[in-house]
């Protein structure tokens, strides 16, 4: 059974979800954007230490709190880490009012039928139990859609919902993330197929079972309105997908009922060389910008 207070916040509070879940493959890119090059560290342990320090700097910034940032998605190592001596999940919820989520996928398979499904997760139940014990509310898992291939998209959605049911069974809230690449030459057509496949799977969920959806901002504004309104959907959140902060916020502002769950766009203007005052001011400005796009719809 999911935490009732966290569920209430996630289903109704204004704000957005911060994605702080870059893992092994995407960490070097996140650090480069932050101003830390591969020559500045040696090996994975030092790399993860540096990305954790960046995340702690974000999480402890004055503007990073539950009045605008209602949730945060964590990498497994971040979940296991500390902030000022306190476990990250409890720090986020108890000190910041931010609902903690955990990224659980293990990366992507090679592209087939225009999509990349998720790699097997044989230890998922153990990870879910550990996450629940640490105070995690829900999970996130990502697939990628590159082309409007009906069989491929159906396979992605089917796999996502199969894993989602496993997560629900452990008392956690799944965020289903079938990302449509913003570089796809058939993005709009892929979104049509995706919406229909998701709707079919949602209709199959037993009464009382709910999920969240994390989707690429659609080409057509309000295209996912029917999913936003579905009885089995707690919230629909948008990924930035490589758009700049300004572009992602502008596009999101036209999609009623969708809130942001940005990663790169959240940290786009942050640099390791900034003073704490500069860092906090820059992050506060970005948080205000993303919050406005999530709440104030045109």
How many angstroms separate the CA atoms of 114 and 175, rounded?
A: 22
The answer to whether residue 112 is catalytic is: no
pLDDT mean over 78-85: 95
pLDDT tops 90 at residue 100: yes
How many angstroms separate the CA atoms of 227 and 255, rounded?
A: 12
Neighbours of 129 (CB within 10 A): 13
Catalytic residue among 103, 140, 214, 251: 214
pLDDT at 139: 98
pLDDT tops 90 at residue 298: no
Residue in 199, 173, 172, 105 with CA at minimum distance from that of residue 144: 105
Distances (CA, A) of 261 to 16, 45, 123, 187: 6, 27, 26, 20
The answer to whether residue 197 is catalytic is: no
When the pLDDT of each residue in the chain is averaged and rounded to a whole number, the result is 95
pLDDT digits (tens, 9 = 90+) for 217-259: 999 999 999 999 999 999 999 998 989 999 999 999 999 999 9
pLDDT digits (tens, 9 = 90+) for 2-14: 899 999 999 999 9
Catalytic residue among 177, 179, 191, 197: 177
Q: Which residue has the higher pLDDT, 26 or 253?
A: 253
How many angstroms separate the CA atoms of 243 and 187, rounded?
A: 14
pLDDT at 95: 97
pLDDT digits (tens, 9 = 90+) for 121-165: 999 999 999 999 999 999 999 999 999 999 999 999 999 999 999
H-run or E-run covering 174: strand 173-180
pLDDT at 166: 97
Contacts of 122 (CB under 8 A, 6+ apart): none
pLDDT tops 90 at residue 24: no
pLDDT tops 80 at residue 177: yes
């Amino acid at each position: 059974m999911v935490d009732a207070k966290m569920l209430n916040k996630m289903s109704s509070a204004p704000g957005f979800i911060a994605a702080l879940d870059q893992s092994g493959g995407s960490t070097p890119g996140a650090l480069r954007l932050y101003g830390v090059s591969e020559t500045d560290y040696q090996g994975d342990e030092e790399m993860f230490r540096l990305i954790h320090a960046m995340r702690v700097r974000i999480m402890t910034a004055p503007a990073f709190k539950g009045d605008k940032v209602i949730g945060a998605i964590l990498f497994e190592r971040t979940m296991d880490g500390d902030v000022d001596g306190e476990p990250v999940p409890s720090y986020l919820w108890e000190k910041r009012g931010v609902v903690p989520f955990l990224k659980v996928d293990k990366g992507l398979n090679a592209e087939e039928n225009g999509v990349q499904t998720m790699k097997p997760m044989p230890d998922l139940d153990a990870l879910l139990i550990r996450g629940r014990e640490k105070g995690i509310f829900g999970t996130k898992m990502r697939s990628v859609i590159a082309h409007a291939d009906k069989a491929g998209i159906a396979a992605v959605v089917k796999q996502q919902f199969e894993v989602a049911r496993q997560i629900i069974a452990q008392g956690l809230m799944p965020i289903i993330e079938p990302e449509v690449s913003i570089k796809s030459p058939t993005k709009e057509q892929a979104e049509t197929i995706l919406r229909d496949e998701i709707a079919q799977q949602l209709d199959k969920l037993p009464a009382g079972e709910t999920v969240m959806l994390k989707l690429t901002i659609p080409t057509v504004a309000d295209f996912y309105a029917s999913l936003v309104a579905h009885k089995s959907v707690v919230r629909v959140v948008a990924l930035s997908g490589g758009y700049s902060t300004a572009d992602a916020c502008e596009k999101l502002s036209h999609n009623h009922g969708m809130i942001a769950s940005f990663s790169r766009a959240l940290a786009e203007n942050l640099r390791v060389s900034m003073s704490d005052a500069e860092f906090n001011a820059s992050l506060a400005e970005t948080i205000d910008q993303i919050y406005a796009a999530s709440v104030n719809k045109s």
